[in-house]
Amino acid sequence: MNSVYAAGLLMIQIYTQTVNDTWFAIASCAEQQQVVATSFASTEQKVLNNLLNLLPFNVPFQIMSSLSVYAKDVFVLMANVFEGKVVVYDFSFVMDKLPKYTTMVLKAVMQIPVGYVSTYGAVAKAVGGGPRAVGNVMAGNMFAPLIPCHRVVKTDFSLGGYGGGLKTKYQLLTKEKRGYLEPKNVVIKNGDILQIYPVETTLNKVSAVS
């Protein structure tokens, strides 16, 4: 599948939709079923600003007035993440213009399933670099909430940071409780191991966020 940045593509399509008082936005090439960037915010203007800041400056875009079937499907997945549901992606994320390390971190975080968290340190151990480098990638995640950076927490299992706000991070994790009891390992690319922990490990550490 060719990248949306390949010669011949003239336009990135941008869609917005509100679900339960949260605005979601998608930048995509619908014909190729590729997601260029996603975002969420409390207002349409904020989510558009967030999304536009993620786009490459030299690629033209168009804000669409109506939703395509493809965009509707992606919005359903984004809303399902907010409801703590398991989602399966049948599209690809455009990462070919991202730094190699950023791509490695994002692909590792994609492997953290609902009901679990990992830590900045554990992700760094799996892909290289240090916890701060992983945190920087999470802070610039172009695909929130689909790539679940809300499932990455500090080494002591406190929440750490989150672009959508710590209250939102806490709420997302609360909805993802599944009652798992033990940590486990996930095999990521090249056979590297990412350690993950029941989400309750963090929720028990942080009683509430106002």
Give residue-wise pLDDT tens across range 32-45: 779 999 999 999 99
pLDDT at 2: 42
12-93 against 100-203: fold identical: no
Query: 12-93 architecture in CATH?
Result: 2-Layer Sandwich (3.30)
Taking the CB of residue 208, how many other CB atoms lie within 10 A of it? 8
State the pTM of this model. Answer: 0.92
CA neighbours closer than 13 Å in the CB half-sphere of residue 99: 9
Is a pLDDT exceeding 60 seen at residue 10? no
Give residue-wise pLDDT tens across range 19-36: 999 999 999 986 677 999
Is a pLDDT exceeding 60 seen at residue 6? no
149 is catalytic: yes
Mean pLDDT of the chain: 91
Note whether 177 and 130 are within 8 A (CB). Answer: no
Is a pLDDT exceeding 80 seen at residue 8? no
DSSP string, 144-187: TTTS-GGGEE-TTSS----TT-HHHHHHHHHHT-----S-EEEE
The pair of structure tokens assigned to 147 is: 């790539």
Give residue-wise pLDDT tens across range 113-158: 999 999 999 999 999 999 999 999 999 999 999 999 999 999 999 9
Q: Out of 29, 77, 105, 149, pick the active-site residue.
A: 149
Q: What ranges do the domains of the chain cover?
A: 12-93, 100-203
Give the pLDDT mean for 72-96. 93
Note whether 118 and 148 are within 8 A (CB). Answer: no
Taking the CB of residue 178, how many other CB atoms lie within 10 A of it? 13
- Beta-strand ranges (E) seen in the chain are 12-19, 22-29, 34-41, 61-63, 92-93, 116-119, 152-153, 184-187, 193-198
Is a pLDDT exceeding 80 seen at residue 210? no
**CATH number for the domain formed by residue range(s) 100-203:** 1.10.10.10
pLDDT at 1: 36
